[in-house]
């Protein structure tokens, strides 16, 4: 054998190998075995922590034998990404999957462009793995068309531990404590609150304030049931006033600032606190900061007993290529797998959406999030985040963004005027 092979001329040997390889591939194809698909995925995870999480997804899909085609559209909160998605779908060329959340999944379902992945979900028993409040969002007409990846808690306050020490304060549990601490920080020359002047960040901050001021029952009546009397009532006015009071503790350079830049200000100690969902933790982790030591995560003042949830998910679009269809199922199956759920969420700052996971590798903020999710669920204080697409149609949400954004920037508008506008905005359909 050895002699014979060494006598073969190089080109001949290459031909033999290629032919053998081609026969092998043909046999695999005929047997319907693992074909590689290029799976294009739209997402908006481009900050340090987010990009690291997206990389986990890419790598694990590639390990399955498929190829990840990145369709990343920068812009926190996903506004830009949704515009890009619309353009592609209208052109009849949707990506295989896109990061879409909440009621928007139903809207895309109504357009007839989503594909069912119910066979994967049934085979893997998703109904038993995902809390019912979340699985119902993922289904269109009773069939799964989207897969959830995580649970983010939105009503967090992130605090630089050294800054707090400098003013000898404890993490604020009430609004009175919050403003007292903010005064002390300001006197010490530290920007008390970091924020980016983008409407979704203002809306998110207001959402946390409203939950802390009014409680979960008020929050649901106002933002989930869109009750006009509650939207323009005295509790809403108080929430708006509290929200506006925060502005005096923010800096002048906020216009257009990205959320992760604001988190960066807390990481370096230029600012002391930020209201932000726990994707902020991804930024602290990338900067090698340790919770409990370098920074603290506490629920927004007054909202200790409640939990605002924001679940990221990928919806699947109708595509023609059978290879891509197979790739979509690979991706769907991957998203709920225990290994992906662990590694992805460790990077993203969220907790696994898959129930019954071992959380021993997760930090104290994640443990608190998981415990508070369960206790809020039992108490009836688990509420969806309207500022992060989990409640309203994009039209109502956009109208709320405008009201809150204008109120934040216009120092002449009264809280009652803004509250009245919220009640009007709720009628946008």
Contact residues toward ligand GAL (CB under 6 A) are 44-45, 50, 76-78, 152, 259, 279, 310, 312, 388
Question: C-alpha 1: how far from its chain's center?
Answer: 60
Is the CB of 179 or the CB of 309 nearer to ligand GAL?
A: 309
- Of all residues in this chain, which one has the CB nearest to ligand GAL in the complex? 76
Residues whose CB is less than 8 angstroms from the CB of residue 142 and which lie 6 or more positions away in sequence, other chains included: none
Q: Between 208 and 230, name the residue whose CB sits nearer to ligand GAL.
A: 208
- The vertex-309 CA angle with 257 and 146, nearest 5°, equals 95
- The smaller minimum CB distance to ligand GAL, of residues 230 and 263, is found at 263
C-beta separation of 172 from 181 below 8 A? yes
Smallest distance from ligand GAL to CB 53, Å:
8
From the CA atom positions of the chain, what is the Rg in Å? Answer: 24
Matching residue, tokens 């994707």:
279
Give the helix ranges, DSSP H, for 220-349.
228-231, 234-247, 259-268, 280-286, 322-335, 338-348
Between residues 312 and 330, which has the closer beta carbon with respect to ligand GAL?
312
C-alpha span between 152 and 172 (Å, rounded)? 22
CB burial of residue 310 (10 Å; 0-12, 13-18, 19+): buried
Q: Which positions ≥6 away from 109 have C-beta within 8 Å? A: 140, 141, 145
Q: Which is nearer to ligand GAL, 45 or 179 (CB)?
A: 45
Cα 221 to Cα 3: distance, rounded to the nearest angstrom: 84
Output 57 or 185, the one with its CB closest to ligand GAL.
57
Q: Minimum CB separation from ligand GAL for residue 101, in Å?
A: 6
**CB of residue 351 to ligand GAL, shortest distance in Å:** 13
Which residue, 58 or 245, is less far from ligand GAL as judged by CB? 58
Cβ at position 346, least distance to ligand GAL in Å: 14
Q: Minimum Å distance from CB 349 to ligand GAL?
A: 9
Phi and psi (nearest 5°) for 223? -95, -20
CB of 149 to ligand GAL, least distance (A): 9
Sign for the pseudo-dihedral over CA of 233, 383, 422, 178:
positive
**CA gap 397, 84 in Å, rounded:** 18
Q: What phi and psi values does residue 421 have, to the nearest 5 degrees? A: -65, -35
Which of 61, 100, 52, 108 shows the shortest CA–CA distance to 78? 100
Nearer to ligand GAL by Cβ, of 282 and 301: the residue is 282
CA gap 173, 177 in Å, rounded: 7
């Amino acid at each position: 054998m050895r002699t014979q092979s060494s006598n073969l001329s190089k080109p001949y040997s290459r031909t033999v190998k290629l032919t053998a390889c081609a026969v092998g591939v043909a046999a695999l194809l005929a047997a319907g075995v693992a074909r590689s698909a290029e799976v294009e995925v739209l997402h908006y995870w481009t900050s340090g922590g987010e990009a690291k999480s997206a990389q986990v997804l890419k790598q694990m899909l590639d390990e399955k034998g498929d190829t990840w085609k990145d369709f990343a559209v920068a812009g926190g909160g996903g506004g830009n990404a949704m515009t890009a998605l619309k353009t592609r779908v209208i052109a009849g060329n949707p990506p295989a999957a896109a990061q879409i959340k909440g009621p928007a999944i139903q809207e895309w379902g109504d357009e007839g462009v989503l594909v069912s992945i119910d066979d994967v979900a049934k085979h893997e028993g998703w109904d038993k793995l995902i809390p019912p409040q979340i699985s119902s969002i993922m289904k269109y007409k009773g069939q799964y068309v989207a897969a959830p990846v995580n649970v983010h808690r939105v009503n967090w306050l992130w605090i630089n531990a050294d800054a707090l020490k400098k003013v000898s304060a404890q993490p604020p549990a009430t609004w009175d404590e919050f403003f007292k601490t903010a005064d002390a920080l300001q006197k010490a020359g530290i920007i008390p609150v970091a924020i980016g002047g983008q409407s979704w960040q203002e809306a998110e901050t207001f959402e946390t304030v409203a939950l802390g001021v009014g409680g979960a029952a008020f929050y649901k009546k106002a933002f989930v049931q869109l009750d006009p009397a509650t939207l323009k009532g005295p509790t809403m006015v108080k929430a708006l006033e509290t929200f506006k009071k925060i502005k005096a503790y923010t800096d002048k350079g906020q216009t257009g600032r990205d959320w992760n830049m604001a988190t960066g200000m807390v990481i370096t100690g230029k600012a002391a606190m930020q209201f932000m969902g726990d994707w902020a933790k991804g930024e602290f982790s990338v900067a090698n900061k340790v919770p409990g030591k370098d920074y603290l995560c506490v629920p927004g003042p007054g909202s200790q007993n409640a939990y605002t949830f924001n679940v990221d998910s990928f919806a699947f679009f109708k595509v023609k290529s059978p290879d891509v269809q197979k790739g979509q199922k690979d991706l769907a199956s991957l998203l709920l797998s225990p290994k992906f759920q662990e590694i992805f969420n460790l990077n993203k700052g969220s907790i696994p959406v898959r129930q019954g996971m071992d959380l021993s590798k997760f930090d104290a903020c994640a443990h608190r999030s998981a415990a508070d999710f369960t206790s809020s669920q039992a108490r009836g204080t688990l509420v969806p985040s309207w500022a992060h697409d989990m409640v309203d149609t994009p039209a109502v949400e956009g109208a709320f963004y405008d009201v809150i954004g204008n109120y934040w920037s216009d120092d002449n508008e009264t809280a009652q005027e803004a509250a009245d506008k919220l009640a009007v905005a709720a009628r946008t359909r």
